[in-house]
Amino acid sequence: MKATFFSFCLLVCSYSAFSHSTKEDFDYSIVFGGCFEKDVVSLKINNRSIFNNYKVENRDAVKKGNLSLTQSNKKIHLFYNGQEKYKGKVSFDYYLNIDVTVNNKPNRFKIDLRKGKVILVENCPIENTSTTKKVTVEQMQEQVIFM
């Protein structure tokens, strides 16, 4: 009887310990990736300002200047220069209208979140030129983990 009770308790404890997922569900993430060199960036999502005039420098991973955000169920977690700020949630259906302004040059993108919930924003030089840059957006299905 004791062995049966012990086995039952062990089964229940292991089920409760391993049944919950540790991964937080998120609506979308936006990561400002490569080629930003002391660029001044502003972001609007669905005509709602998220941040204005943040200086982004991410050529060197050791320097601060990284910028990303993740919207979870209740709020936006904004990560900038090693600090975290919180903003209110942006309502959406499947689409995000993203306005990214880099050095006073506006760029508009329409994102379908069914194609991927992780959005990578880059500001890299156009091929065959070293001074002219172009803001591009790429979508991924899985969340990006930085080490």
In which band, very low, low, confident or very high, does the pLDDT at 10 lie, cut at 50, 70 and 90?
Answer: very low
CA distance 68 to 54: 11
In which band, very low, low, confident or very high, does the pLDDT at 141 lie, cut at 50, 70 and 90?
Answer: confident
Which 8-state DSSP code applies to residue 62? T
pLDDT of residue 142: 67
The answer on pLDDT for 105 being more than 50 is yes
Higher pLDDT, 136 or 3: 136
- Using a pLDDT cut of 70, give the percent of the chain over it: 73
User: Whose structure tokens read 């990303």?
Assistant: 68
User: Whose structure tokens read 């200047």?
Assistant: 65
pTM, two decimal places: 0.76
CA angle 66, 84, 119 (to 5 degrees): 50
Taking only the tens place, the pLDDT of each residue in 28-69 is 999 998 889 889 999 999 999 999 999 998 866 555 558 999
In which band, very low, low, confident or very high, does the pLDDT at 8 lie, cut at 50, 70 and 90?
Answer: very low
